[in-house]
């Protein structure tokens, strides 16, 4: 697009669409968790969307396994739970980067053309609101 005003209108429309599509994403990700049990069935771990351990359950017989075996069981359950949470996170955010980046080429028009700064402010405001609803630190 060579017309900056048209480019900013397109960006504003794209951002409005992104806001609608991902309005509930943060809440959805806040509730995302992965749970897994080790191969022995004695240790179960649960993690949140960031991979932080939120729950760990040990069967009473797990305590008889010895420290090295118990540590291995905990690590296996944790790693499997983290992999599960990561897979769910990837499924729920698939295409988000492409959606956010699409249509940004040529957005600023030619040097010295300031007619579309109002549209830029609107687009940046919408992008800021969207960023505030998505998990993790801003890019």
The phi, psi pair for 5, rounded to 5°, reads -65, -45
pLDDT tens, position by position, for the chain (139 residues)? 456 667 677 777 777 777 776 767 777 778 889 999 999 999 999 999 888 999 999 999 999 999 999 999 999 999 999 999 999 888 887 766 655 555 444 444 444 555 555 556 666 777 777 766 666 555 5
Torsion angle in degrees (nearest 10) through CA of 52, 54, 59, 62: 30
Domain boundaries of the chain, sorted by first residue? 4-133
The Cα–Cα gap between 17 and 53 comes to 34
Q: In sequence order, what E strands does the chain have?
A: 33-37, 43-48, 53-58
Enter the CATH code of domain 4-133: 3.30.1310.10
CA distance 139 to 131: 9
């Amino acid at each position: 697009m060579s017309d900056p005003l048209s480019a900013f209108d397109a960006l504003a429309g794209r951002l409005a669409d992104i806001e609608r599509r991902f309005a509930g994403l943060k809440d959805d990700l806040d509730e995302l968790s992965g749970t897994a049990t080790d191969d022995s069935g004695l240790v179960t771990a649960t993690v949140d969307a960031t991979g932080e351990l939120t729950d760990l359950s040990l069967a009473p017989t797990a305590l008889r396994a010895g420290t090295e075996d118990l540590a291995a069981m905990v690590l296996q359950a944790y790693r499997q739970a983290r992999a599960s949470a990561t897979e769910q996170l990837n499924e729920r955010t698939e295409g988000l980067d492409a959606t956010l980046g699409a249509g940004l080429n040529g957005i600023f028009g030619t040097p010295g053309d300031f007619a579309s700064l109002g549209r830029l402010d609107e687009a940046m405001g919408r992008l800021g609101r969207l960023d505030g609803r998505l998990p993790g630190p801003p890019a």
